[in-house]
Chains A and B, each alone.
Chain A
Amino acid sequence: MNHFLTIEGLTAGDLNGLLDDADEFVEVLHRPIPKVPALRGKTVATMFFEPSTRTKMSFEKAAKALSADTMSFSPGTSSLSKGESLKDTVLTIKAMGTDAMVVRHKATGAPWRIAEWIDQPVLNAGDGAHQHPTQALLDSLTIRQHFGTLKGLKIGIVGDIRHSRVARSDIQAFSTLGADVTMVAPRTLLPVDTEVFDATAKENLDEVLADFDVVYVLRVQAERGGASVFPSLSEYTDRYGITRERFARLKPEAIVLHPGPMNRGVEIDGAVADDPRALILDQVFNGVAVRMAVLFRLLGGESNE
């Protein structure tokens, strides 16, 4: 593995291998001193060309828990605002001395371009509505911890799949790991071509809700089209929100996940979000462990020398 850009093309063995490593890092993170010296002397640059709090902090925490140094970049205070090109920005930061770059960009494919320009590992921390592969790992880890396996689970991903990099990565990871995935959204929020995904598409949530072992609630992205993709937030909540009533109709052992940040009262009721069967903070914790696993895989060991 030279880069970590996408879930596409990874096998169940690849994914489970990373999740097994992540399990070990979960154990590290539970130690009194939650730190190992694996990447001492390495420098990880977190390059978030699009604002993010949790993913950026999670990667930085993961790098530090492996004893790597971190450098960070944010577009508002950089030369990008003076017109510097993406390529020049990347080459400049690389010249300062980095060993890997973690990239978030609102343009699809940006991490692939960067991987063409530099000869060191690039980790995709989210590009456009395309891929967010470490999110898929942390979601898979959270489900695997709870159920022991994803094989045979029915997972419903509910909401704005069309504009969601989380959904694209999750569908590929969950189905590769043997889950039966359903996408639930109004047609304006489903991908135009649903056939390319290893998942079933449904428009009516109430028809399928009671089948799910996992309900994965996507964030309503008000900035993505708003009124042109659904008539109003309250109509969205009526048809697709995980309300207390809908939560009561889930299988008793079913769990609820959300990638955050949540719009309480829109796609998820506040009481549902705070229920013990909503494993949203477990997802956040696992995020650090899976990012340690990926960084270690790319930068640790001798195969990279």
Chain B
Amino acid sequence: MSDLILAKGTVLTAQGIEEADVRIRDGSIAEIGPGLEGDETIDCEGAWIGPGLVDLHAHFREPGQEWKEDIASGSRAAAAGGFTAAFAMPNTEPATDSGHVARFVASRGAEVGLIEVLPVGAITKGRAGKELAHLDELWAAGVRVFSDDGDVVEDAGLLRQAMDYLAERGGVISQHAVDIGLSSGGFMHEGSVSSLLGMYGIPSAADDVILARDIRLVEMTGARYHVQHLSTATGVELIAAAKAKGLPVTAEVTPHHLAFDHTAAQTTDPVYKMMPPLRSGEDRDALRRGLEDGTVDIVGTDHAPHAAHEKEVPWEHAPNGVLGLEWAATVANTFTDLDQAAFFDRLAVAPARIGQLDGQGMMPEVGGPANLVVFDPNIEWTPTTTVSKSENSPYFGLPLRGKVIATVYQGRVTALDGVPAS
């Protein structure tokens, strides 16, 4: 196998940051140092080199909704966005609530080969919130993260059972935290914009009351708990308080909750419709600060493809969700102040740790796996296209800063300048 050189980048290693070249051979990092030469060279001048990004929250829609996305197209979008691993949420058809579906998702990901695809297992059968899914089977299939994402586990008693069942082994409960009584009928953040539009709102408290409840259950069970797509300032405070108590609680924020607030919804353009909704400017700012100071552990994309005909409808009829994988790193870099170490922590190291994923989110070191991304934090550009099957991106036309130059997975270049390898 030939040598690939990532030349003249700023490399984040376990020892610190150094200006160096990286030699990649046989899927591993063979050498880190100055003046390296090889068969193929990627110019990384001015760019950061660090562990390939890991997304703890993606929707690849396969099996069951392949007109929106599939594991191949989702993997391409992920690779283009600098990711070398992504956790695929279980709201597929059928739901990933048993071992064979989980094994299908993982093996289809391996067959595509652009990123590592990790199935997230459902907590309840069919994600119906009534009885526990085949948790042992899922565990045996390699699942470590469990979620009914798309829906909350509403029944606190059932959630407690899942937590008790998984706590000892260290499985992670990943909760889509929203109270149904407070949110039902709502289409956007309850506030000034929903009031002007006459639209039913979803109050911030809908998310907060479930998060507060769940933190109490973590205290009771000792289970590891991850709250998805945090959207409120109060949520950031609740997480900070739980961490101060030493509870095994982690949190994620999506790129769109970093980039926008509910004033974007004033256009009633369904590209801005998602759950949880875009909230107030104060909420958005608290999420940015939370990610910077680490209260919010990671960026999770909640990459949610929907076909054009599904989004070309009035707001109330449109499905929730936006694309994210291709621009997550760029959006985090644009709207928060993260240095190279913090950037790779929030987008690679911490998500791999929370997802208990070996071989990913590791600082580049000689002999280590060549799962890497080259990211230039200073390039200014405006997205206009996507490699996803769907086109529901809120970032088209939005000037952003920072660009993924190259993605390397298992020693192979999987994307170059936004174009995925085939």
Cα(A195)–Cα(B192), bound, Å:
8
User: Is A107's CB within 8 Å of the partner chain B?
Assistant: yes
**For A129, what are the chain B residues with a Cβ–Cβ distance below 8 Å?**
197-199
Question: Are A112 and B199 in touch, CB under 8 angstroms?
Answer: no
- Which of A162-170, A174-182, A208-216 participates in binding chain B? A162-170
Question: Are A113 and B314 in touch, CB under 8 angstroms?
Answer: yes
User: Is A130's CB within 8 Å of the partner chain B?
Assistant: yes
Cα(A289)–Cα(B316), bound, Å:
32
A193 touching B195 in the complex, CB below 8 Å, given contacts A85-B309, A108-B268, A109-B268? yes
User: Is A192's CB within 8 Å of the partner chain B?
Assistant: yes
**For B203, what are the chain A residues with a Cβ–Cβ distance below 8 Å?**
192
Cα(A163)–Cα(B192), bound, Å:
15
Cα(A112)–Cα(B219), bound, Å:
48
**For A108, what are the chain B residues with a Cβ–Cβ distance below 8 Å?**
197-199, 268, 314-316
Scan A185-202; emit 1 where CB is below 8 A from any B CB, else 0: 000000111111100000
Interface of A is mostly: loop
**For B382, what are the chain A residues with a Cβ–Cβ distance below 8 Å?**
none
A85 touching B191 in the complex, CB below 8 Å, given contacts A112-B267, A128-B198, A129-B198? no
Cα(A86)–Cα(B203), bound, Å:
29
Closest chain A residue, CB of each to CB of B185? A225
User: Is B156's CB within 8 Å of the partner chain A?
Assistant: no
User: Is B361's CB within 8 Å of the partner chain A?
Assistant: no
**For B201, what are the chain A residues with a Cβ–Cβ distance below 8 Å?**
192
Closest chain A residue, CB of each to CB of B188? A108
User: Is A42's CB within 8 Å of the partner chain B?
Assistant: no
Cα(A113)–Cα(B317), bound, Å:
12
Residues of A within 8 A of B (CB): 85-87, 105, 107-110, 112-113, 117, 128-130, 162-165, 168, 191-197
Chosen A-B contacts, 26 in total, with CB atoms closer than 8 Å, are A85-B309, A85-B313, A86-B314, A87-B312, A107-B315, A107-B316, A108-B268, A108-B314, A112-B267, A113-B268, A113-B314, A117-B312, A128-B197, A128-B198, A130-B198, A162-B198, A163-B198, A164-B198, A168-B198, A191-B198, A192-B190, A192-B191, A193-B191, A196-B195, A196-B196, A197-B195
Further contacts, 16 of them, CB under 8 A, given A129-B198, A191-B196, A192-B190: A85-B313, A87-B309, A107-B314, A107-B316, A108-B315, A109-B197, A109-B268, A112-B268, A113-B312, A113-B314, A130-B198, A168-B196, A191-B195, A192-B201, A194-B195, A197-B195
